[in-house]
Structure 1
Amino acid sequence: MQRKNPSRAEHWVTQLRQSAAQQPDRVVFEFLADAREVSERLTYGGLDRRARGLASRLQALAGPGTRVLIPMPNGIDYIVGFFAALYAGMIAVTAYRPPHKRRGWQRIGAIASDCEAGLLLTDGEGQGAVSEWAREQSLSCPVVAVSAEDGERAGHWREPGIEAGDVALLQYSSGSTGAPKGVAISHANLLHNVALMQREMALTPEDIFVSWLPLFHDMGLVGQMLTPLFSGCRALLTLPPLVVQQPLRWLELMTRSGATVSGGPNFIYDHCVERIAPEQVAELDLSNWRIAFNGAEPVRAATLERFAEHFAPAGVTSEALAPCYGLAEATLMVTGTSSGGYSTLTVDESELARGRVCPAGSGRTLVSSGQLNGEMQVRIVEPAEQYPLPEGAVGEIWVRGASVAGSYWRQKGLSAEALGARLEGEGPYLRTGDLGFLHDGRLFVCGRIKELIPVRGRNHYPQDIEATAQAVSPHLIAHGGAAFALDTGEAEAAVLVQEVDRRAAGKSGAVDTGALIRDICAAVAAEHDLQLHAVALIAPASLPRTTSGKIQRTAARRAYSLGELKLVEQWNAKGDTGGEAPELPVGDAAGIAHWICHWIATQTRRPVERITPDLALEASGLDSVAGMTLNHELSTRLGVRLEPDILWRYPTVEALAGYLASPDETREVETWQEGVL
């Protein structure tokens, strides 16, 4: 059945109330904490009642326009909390509750400070941790826990006066800790973008979504929560760390539910190919999967080809693979692949570097991020002189449409620069900072002007990475580093080039530069949940800078790629770790520690002799995705169930191995935490 576009209200409160009145008992969300059994369901009517009840509690504490920070894991409570903020006439500020006290809270604090949060909204399980953190941060705002009984207070709700242009959501950039910027997204922006996705994906009430994406991220919140709700579809939600650790659970859920829509960043498709064996593929049925969207980071032709080939026995076709392009400033979607499969174009790489698109028999193969649509106007513009470029020329991608946000939260200058651009007297346009071109009515993204580093679906700010690295040692020169993204041929990776002082640069060996690199990798992983691909320590005053002293990260990347840096010490993730993987013995602490050391060495591409049992796990350089993978390997090989944050509870490899070897320890039940993406 092809469904017409649903009627669109002026704001989300009216939209949800209309749906609840028309089909109060229709299930819209199901939450599966283990991706196997439904632990909670939510109907349109139930969501409306609970949102009204919780909103009445919020209204008793603060007035309209208050920013409500939501540090919660994926789940029904997150959905209720988000809509309660809107029902109260307040502004939802999406976030997550970090699973470990030493990881992630700094960014949440920066967001709370920037938006001047007036309320903190969390689930019952996390109320204690959030309250403790709020006291430590000297935040005076109340901490409110979502309750299953909130629906009983629905009659106390007072409908606020909301207009379409009112801000509904602050979506903060996913990487910054120092100076976060919140995109102020209105009710009208949200409604326009979900209606666009409903149309472009030809959604009907028969479609079934499966999502493991974080609800604090625009792709999860807008694409996988608001879009199915708006379109009358059923959505099955699970936890991000579960799928990262065991991607087979995701595809098994797709099989059991007959889901038609699901996806994620490019890395998850590679992860599935690497982690799911052919004999496991044979047990899957993915023949109903008609939209496998791929976005949030560069989409790679090799990834799509490998995934389609690997899962063809399960019914996956290349026509289902749907690359897309979007960003928080456009609410989410700008372009997408609808039907007929994705498109690629092989071009002459040297000509592409000169800004010209020349199709060739061999060279660089680019994947289209979808066709243009009638709602979002895409122009390719010369970034410096700001004039339009014709089809086949590379320039900055500019976007105009009703989904584009009007401002960043309380940042007038940045808003005017990035969201208020004009072209040939028309505007405003969003300057995306991405480089691309148009070809046969399709958008191809081929690089970026902006300096964000996209890895595993998250954007990292180079300034944050540089500051973290320079805090490691006084031998690392302040404001003497350049972090940038590098295309390894398989994925986008993060590289750091950093100046050292004269003592470290000397040949006396007075400073262990290898140890400096290890400490840098560990600090960046701990602070930013990011594994560096390479670190280059260079001589003092040799980093490319402008005449005014500004760091030239693009020039640094070019010098790194061409081997033109004045190297003092260098490490990259292509080195040989040495030796075959040892056996993982059960009950043998020393043997388990040896296996873990070898696994870390392999993952971080370091010589195995440098990874010792007394290594602090937080100093290992592993990001959370690698940590969850190690957790799963240990769980499977040792036959135990482990909490997802178990690696960070024990100070060293040796201590963790001792715990795992102990026959008297009672293993934790299988639960999952939020915050790895």
Structure 2
Amino acid sequence: MSEFDSFTGALRRRVAERPGHVAVRFCAGGGDERLTYAKLDLAARAVAAAVRTRTAPADRVLLSCAPGTAFLKGFLGCLYAGRVPVPVPPPGSHAPQTQRTAGIARDTGAELLLTDMAEVLSGDGFGASTVLSVQEALRADPAAWTPPLPERQQLAFLQYTSGSTSEPKGVMVHHGALAHNLALMRDSHGWHGGMTWCSWLPAYHDMGLIAMMLAPLYLGGTAVLMPATDVLKRPVSWLRLIDRCGAEISCAPNFAYELCARLGDEQIAGLDLSRWRYACNGAEPVDARTLARFAERFRSAGLKPSALLPGYGLAEATLYVSGTPVHEEPAVFRVDPAALEQGRLAEAGTNTVEVAASGVVRGLDVRIVDPVRLTETAPGVVGEVWIRGQSVAQGYWRRPEETAQTFGGTTAGGDGGFLRTGDLGAFHDGKLVITGRLKEIIIMHGRNLYPHDLEREAQALDPAFDGLPATVFAVRPPGRTDEEIVVTQEVRGRGVPAEDLQALARRARTALARRLGVTVAGLVLLRVGRTRRTTSGKIQRNLMRDLFLRGELEAWHEELDPTLHVGSARPLRTPAATGGARS
């Protein structure tokens, strides 16, 4: 195949055009490490030379680095070498993350582990012979490197999904899809090389990698990075860095904006966000109330409402699918909740629920398709989001059946080649509105109930729940054909008398059932931090349901319907048996 304008080709042009321009800054602990395009390129060529001596073309290279510049040196080095990088989280203190990384290593058959933490990882089941430290790789001779000429359909990297509804799968992103998606973001938003990006998102997160690291390098801009842990501990540190570096672009999931919207006046005093023009919010779906709270909270800091840009994307489409045009305020529609439960977006004047649009689609063929009939729906009618275009990935690594099912969508009329996203949405007023996940929707008495809507209702039930996550899922009691709703809600229960927690759970369960007009079979009060999330912050509802059924949730109190038997390994736990805080 003929050569095309790949990401690495574009990056090499930036190196030639502006070698002394700062490509990457990493800010942590008062430090500010800076790499110019020339220095980053030199490092990437050295890593490429080292990687080539240890691997063959198209070999997979597991890439696990602590926050810093080592990841980009390793990732670019793999691309420069014509190898396939596989970003994974660094080993953490909790077992699920370590197990996830080890599982990815087995799934990829990675021939090499490239890391800046070799002394830690050498004992984690990878074997010392498979480990190469980034520092050692940087000692290789960059002059020994020769540039590869990647072809459009050649595999660029494996991006493992977050696993919010199933186990992680390796999305095969080819060079053509990466270049197309980066150009799509550039053209849709008007991004250019004179801009500064600022991000705390992990490098193994698709938004963090592609939108916040590769996009600025593709365009010749500057990426300013910081550790995610800093933001989770002190959310305002993200905004302070945006202010300090004058960043125009910073993207994050909805939950990060919600955290910041709750900051106090003293924390945000003196903050200047007037230069932040692209506050991209990517979630399924974006919470309209979060947009309003964030805009109001930082109005005094100079943030314009038009800077808030809801968008939609997924790893299977490389990243970006739709986004809100800059200079336009987010589109928020007031729709009839009863109509929404029947799968329609119908605007109404009273008794409404607000839904935020995820912008407009450009450069991709996006359809809304009835997931059962496989027919395209009318505007305003909810269906599954199907995508076709050059940004769509090749499929899942070593999963031919799932690749065929997900990437081979064909309508009833025979129109094929679509990615079936599993996301539900509709076009309304020319804009894409995401309403939920197909696998997570709860159908009760002919009503389509979306877990995220129910979770927001739960969080608003009592001041004790404010700012803490809820999870909603459905379970099927033994011997029953219908499902029941269970809600878990984090609460600060330390030092609270057992009878108060019992009363809180009972009161919240009754109030939620009254609000929803359906029976809530169980409400579980969890300790803070016990809600399971993916690496990108999405709630793992299916995992939470499994933990509930196995009786493995760490709860302060459970208020359960007597018919709700959970976990064959434990007896039915009624309020009388479970009342009180548990350590």
Structure 1 residue 443, shift from structure 2 partner: 0.3
The residue aligned with 2:423 is: 434
Q: Distance in 1 between matches of 2:491 and 2:531?
A: 22
Structure 1 residue 427, shift from structure 2 partner: 3.3
Structure 1 residue 12, shift from structure 2 partner: 2.9
Query: Aligned pair in 2 of structure 1 residues 186, 394: CA closer, same or farther (>3 Å)?
Result: same
Q: How does 1:47-446 map to 2 (within 5 A)?
A: 47-100=40-93, 102-123=95-116, 126-135=117-126, 139=127, 142-147=130-135, 150=138, 153-175=141-163, 179-274=167-262, 276-339=263-326, 340-362=328-350, 363-373=352-362, 375-423=363-411, 424-446=413-435
Q: Distance in 2 between matches of 1:447 and 1:322?
A: 19
The residue aligned with 1:488 is: 454
Contact 2:47 2:140 in 1 (8 A): no
Paired residue secondary structure (1:422): coil
Quick one: which amino acid aligns to residue 334 of structure 1? Answer: V
Paired residue secondary structure (2:439): coil
Moved more, 354-363 or 237-246: 354-363
The residue aligned with 2:544 is: none
Structure 1 residue 37, shift from structure 2 partner: 3.5
Query: Aligned pair in 2 of structure 1 residues 486, 202: CA closer, same or farther (>3 Å)?
Result: closer
Contact 1:243 1:249 in 2 (8 A): yes
The answer to whether the aligner puts 1:541 opposite 2:528 as a matched pair is: no
Contact 1:576 1:607 in 2 (8 A): no
Paired residue secondary structure (1:313): coil
The answer to whether the aligner puts 1:29 opposite 2:29 as a matched pair is: no
Paired residue secondary structure (1:437): strand
Contact 1:91 1:170 in 2 (8 A): yes
Structure 1 residue 368, shift from structure 2 partner: 0.4
Task: Find 1:11's aligned residue among 2, 6, 10.
Answer: 6
Structure 1 residue 574, shift from structure 2 partner: 7.5
Structure 1 residue 179, shift from structure 2 partner: 4.4
Query: Aligned pair in 2 of structure 1 residues 9, 233: CA closer, same or farther (>3 Å)?
Result: farther
Q: Distance in 1 between matches of 2:107 and 2:496?
A: 40
The residue aligned with 1:642 is: none
Quick one: which amino acid aligns to residue 456 of structure 2? Answer: E
Q: Distance in 1 between matches of 2:107 and 2:396?
A: 11
Structure 1 residue 388, shift from structure 2 partner: 1.1
Query: Aligned pair in 2 of structure 1 residues 141, 334: CA closer, same or farther (>3 Å)?
Result: farther
Structure 1 residue 622, shift from structure 2 partner: 2.2
Q: Distance in 2 between matches of 1:408 and 1:396?
A: 20
Query: Aligned pair in 2 of structure 1 residues 41, 384: CA closer, same or farther (>3 Å)?
Result: same
Query: Aligned pair in 2 of structure 1 residues 539, 281: CA closer, same or farther (>3 Å)?
Result: same
Task: Provide the aligned length of Structure 1 versus Structure 2.
Answer: 491
Paired residue secondary structure (1:407): coil
Contact 1:264 1:293 in 2 (8 A): yes
Task: After superposition, give the CA deviation of every residue in 1:590-612 in whole Å (9 maximum; x if it has no partner).
Answer: xxxxxxx34999xxx7899xxxx
Query: Aligned pair in 2 of structure 1 residues 370, 537: CA closer, same or farther (>3 Å)?
Result: closer
The residue aligned with 2:529 is: 622
Q: Distance in 1 between matches of 2:291 and 2:410?
A: 36
Moved more, 426-435 or 62-71: 426-435
Quick one: which amino acid aligns to residue 401 of structure 2? Answer: G
Paired residue secondary structure (2:156): strand
Contact 1:378 1:397 in 2 (8 A): yes
Query: Aligned pair in 2 of structure 1 residues 179, 444: CA closer, same or farther (>3 Å)?
Result: closer
Unaligned ranges ≥5, structure 1: 1-7, 454-483, 494-529, 545-554, 562-570, 578-596, 609-618, 627-677
Contact 1:293 1:324 in 2 (8 A): yes
Query: Aligned pair in 2 of structure 1 residues 452, 394: CA closer, same or farther (>3 Å)?
Result: closer
Paired residue secondary structure (2:62): strand
Q: Distance in 1 between matches of 2:197 and 2:205?
A: 17
Query: Aligned pair in 2 of structure 1 residues 422, 76: CA closer, same or farther (>3 Å)?
Result: same
Paired residue secondary structure (1:323): strand
Paired residue secondary structure (1:314): coil
Q: Distance in 1 between matches of 2:195 and 2:318?
A: 22
Query: Aligned pair in 2 of structure 1 residues 195, 107: CA closer, same or farther (>3 Å)?
Result: same
**Normalised by the size of structure 2, how large is the TM-score?**
0.78
Q: Distance in 1 between matches of 2:6 and 2:113?
A: 23
Percentage of identical aligned residues = 38
Structure 1 residue 74, shift from structure 2 partner: 2.5
Unaligned ranges ≥5, structure 2: 443-449, 460-467, 505-525, 534-583
For the aligned residue pairs, the C-alpha RMSD in angstroms reads 3.1
Quick one: which amino acid aligns to residue 489 of structure 2? Answer: A
Q: How does 1:581-620 map to 2 (within 5 A)?
A: 597-598=494-495
The residue aligned with 1:3 is: none
Query: Aligned pair in 2 of structure 1 residues 120, 488: CA closer, same or farther (>3 Å)?
Result: same
Task: After superposition, give the CA deviation of every residue in 1:193-242 in whole Å (9 maximum; x if it has no partner).
Answer: 11111111111233211101111000000010011111221111000110
Q: Distance in 2 between matches of 1:536 and 1:343?
A: 31
Paired residue secondary structure (1:408): coil
**Normalised by the size of structure 1, how large is the TM-score?**
0.67
Task: After superposition, give the CA deviation of every residue in 1:576-626 in whole Å (9 maximum; x if it has no partner).
Answer: 94xxxxxxxxxxxxxxxxxxx34999xxx7899xxxxxxxxxx95624999
Q: Distance in 1 between matches of 2:71 and 2:491?
A: 43
Task: After superposition, give the CA deviation of every residue in 1:52-91 in whole Å (9 maximum; x if it has no partner).
Answer: 1111111111101111111112221000100111111111
Contact 1:114 1:180 in 2 (8 A): no
The residue aligned with 2:511 is: none
Q: Distance in 2 between matches of 1:197 and 1:159?
A: 26
